[in-house]
Copies of this chain bind each other. A is one copy, B any other.
């Protein structure tokens, strides 16, 4: 679950689309692959990469595999973007800093 695994996982449009789908709730592999034109094994590979990046979790339920979004993994990306945000939006950066201070 390195930083690179996360950036790799979100670099593909299909995988970002799957994340959006899962933001609406859990889905089985069948449910997910039904939404795409590619074959089921192709979707399986995308899900594996998302799981390796920590962006989703998977559990078995009977003969199904249920996939759930793990959005906290995106904190890594948020932090990375936030470092650069200071160069384009001082106000937002300051507010974010305030929020982080407040958390401690």
Contact = CB atoms under 8 A, between A and B. Distances in A.
Given A81-B74, A87-B23, A11 B16 contact: no
29 contacts: A4-B13, A7-B13, A7-B16, A8-B11, A10-B11, A16-B80, A19-B84, A23-B83, A23-B84, A23-B87, A69-B84, A69-B87, A71-B84, A71-B85, A71-B87, A71-B88, A72-B88, A74-B81, A74-B85, A75-B88, A77-B77, A78-B78, A78-B81, A78-B85, A91-B99, A91-B102, A92-B96, A95-B96, A95-B99
Contacts of A91: 99, 102
Interface of A: 4, 7-8, 10-11, 13, 16, 19-20, 23, 69, 71-72, 74-75, 77-78, 80-81, 83-85, 87-88, 91-92, 95-96, 99, 102
